[in-house]
Amino acid sequence: MLKKIFLASDHGGYRLKELVKDFLNKQKQPIEDLGCFSLDAVDYPDYAKLLSDKLKNDLNSQGILFCGTGIGISMAANRYSHIRAALCTTAEMASKSRKHNNANVLALGGRIITDTLATDIVYEFLNTDFEAGRHSLRVNKI
């Protein structure tokens, strides 16, 4: 069974979250949208926390966070010790974040990347496995 993907954004990432949600729905990927649910201004740390709480109860699940740049929401998420959030602007970064860093959260900037690039990054992130081996030693030092 496909693992569940949790999605969360602030207002700056809302539009891209909705686009990625449609992309994942078309792929029949199980998702849970934790908000926000409009363009009204909200605080990105609140949404990073909502998603981090969900992943704590299901350490095999993954998350995708969105804000305007992806910076604030990834900083907030990485305050939680079970989160390894990777802010990615290329598909190569998404691939490496899985292979080398075992990232369990992808962060995207809704005002930074194009829609096509975003779906390419998401696809790469969700379809790449951790290589473990020497990378496990390093990830365990974080």
Count residues binding ligand RB5 (CB under 6 A).
8
Provide the minimum distance between the beta carbon of 12 and ligand RB5 in the complex, in angstroms, as a whole number: 3
Residue 63 makes contact with ligand RB5 by CB under 6 A: no
Among 24, 55, 67, 88, binds ligand RB5 (CB under 6 A): 67
Residue 47 makes contact with ligand RB5 by CB under 6 A: no
For the range 87-91, what are the long-range contacts, defined as Cβ-Cβ under 8 Å and sequence gap of 24 or more? 88/121, 88/125, 89/113, 89/117, 89/121, 90/117, 90/121, 91/117, 91/120, 91/121, 91/123, 91/124
Say how far apart CA 29 and CA 87 lie, in whole Å: 21
Span of 24-32, 46-54, 65-73, 96-104 interacting with ligand RB5 by CB under 6 A: 65-73
Say how far apart CA 66 and CA 40 lie, in whole Å: 15
Minimum CB distance to ligand RB5 smaller for 80 or for 130: 80
Minimum CB distance to ligand RB5 smaller for 61 or for 107: 107
Q: Going by DSSP bridges, is the β-strand pair 105-109/85-87 parallel, antiparallel, or unpaired? A: parallel
Minimum CB distance to ligand RB5 smaller for 33 or for 45: 45
Provide the minimum distance between the beta carbon of 29 and ligand RB5 in the complex, in angstroms, as a whole number: 24
Residue positions annotated with a catalytic role: 100
125 and 29 Cβ atoms separated by less than 8 Å: no
Residue 71 makes contact with ligand RB5 by CB under 6 A: yes
| DSSP-assigned letters across all residues of 54-73 | HHHH-TT-EEEEEESSSHHH
Binding site for ligand RB5 (CB under 6 A): 10, 12, 44, 67-69, 71-72
